């Protein structure tokens, strides 16, 4: 079955290294808590808010073992007034036998406020 796994995080500065580090951190957490392997992933869409433009976050994922063949696309998040700043969001499309309620979505740092209704968000500490 194909399922979507959401993830998001924030950075404090628009710098390549911080965007890379944050993107890798949230992707590794998504992979770990959902027991995913790169071969399970159909594709990944990454968006960033318009205040982040120092690099393409997809380049960060290509540094992870096994991700060189995973299609990744970057886009700009819709600029909604008063929305969360300096935010990186991931939509990871995976092949899994898990039911939707068993998928663990990952929200780190300032992004924990995006989906407080999700159980992992409530359990995950802001980093």
**Catalytic residue numbers?**
6, 62, 74, 77, 89, 107, 115
- 3 labelled ligand-binding: no
Q: Where are the beta strands (DSSP E) in 1-127?
A: 2-10, 41-48, 72-76, 87-95, 106-107
Pick from 9, 8, 64, 10: nearest CA to 37: 64
- 127 labelled ligand-binding: no
45 pairs with which residues across the strands?
73, 91
Helix (H, G, I), strand (E, B) or coil at 111: helix
Rounded to 10 degrees, what is the CA torsion of 8, 32, 58, 68?
-170
- 67 labelled ligand-binding: no
Question: Residues within the annotated binding site?
Answer: 6, 89, 107
């Amino acid at each position: 079955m194909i399922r979507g796994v959401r993830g998001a995080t924030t950075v404090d500065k628009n710098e390549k290294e911080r965007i890379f580090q944050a993107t890798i951190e949230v992707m590794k957490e998504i992979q770990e808590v959902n027991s995913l392997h790169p071969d399970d992933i159909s594709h990944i869409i990454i968006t960033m808010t318009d205040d982040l433009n120092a690099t393409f976050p997809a380049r960060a994922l290509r540094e992870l073992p096994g991700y060189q063949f995973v299609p990744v696309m970057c886009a700009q998040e819709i600029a909604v007034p008063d929305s969360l700043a300096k935010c990186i969001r991931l939509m990871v499309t995976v092949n899994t036998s898990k039911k939707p309620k068993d998928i663990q979505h990952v929200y780190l740092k300032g992004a924990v406020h995006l989906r407080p209704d999700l159980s992992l968000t409530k359990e995950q500490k802001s980093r």
